[in-house]
Amino acid sequence: MFYSIVLQTKFWRSVLGLALGFAVIFVVIKGFLARGDFFIFFGAWRNVVGLILGSIIYGFFTAYSRFYKHYKSQKK
């Protein structure tokens, strides 16, 4: 089941879309908390790497749960 979900291109498009959405929302919220300086977050490379990895992990688990629920409902 895991490999059949992960090997689909739709799955990875969903992962990237969710990751991008999460990153944009995170940067906007962080910018409002920094009083309008939206790009201060990108000052350190650790912040950027953390944002990228966190976004991809969030997107992967969210997309996998959606696809798993869909395939599980189709088997019934």
SS3 state of residue 24: helix
What pLDDT is stored for residue 30 in this prediction? 86
What pLDDT is stored for residue 22 in this prediction? 96
Give the residue among 62, 51, 72 at the shortest CA–CA distance from 15.
Answer: 62
What pLDDT is stored for residue 53 in this prediction? 96
The pLDDT tens digits of the residues spanning 5-58 come to 999 999 999 999 999 999 999 988 888 888 877 777 788 889 899 999 999 999
**Alpha carbon 69 to its chain's center:** 18
State how far the Cα of 42 lies from the Cα of 1, in Å rounded to an integer.
Answer: 38
Give the other-Cβ count within 10 Å of 17's Cβ. 12
Q: What pTM was computed for the model?
A: 0.84
Give the other-Cβ count within 10 Å of 29's Cβ. 10
What pLDDT is stored for residue 32 in this prediction? 85
What pLDDT is stored for residue 57 in this prediction? 97
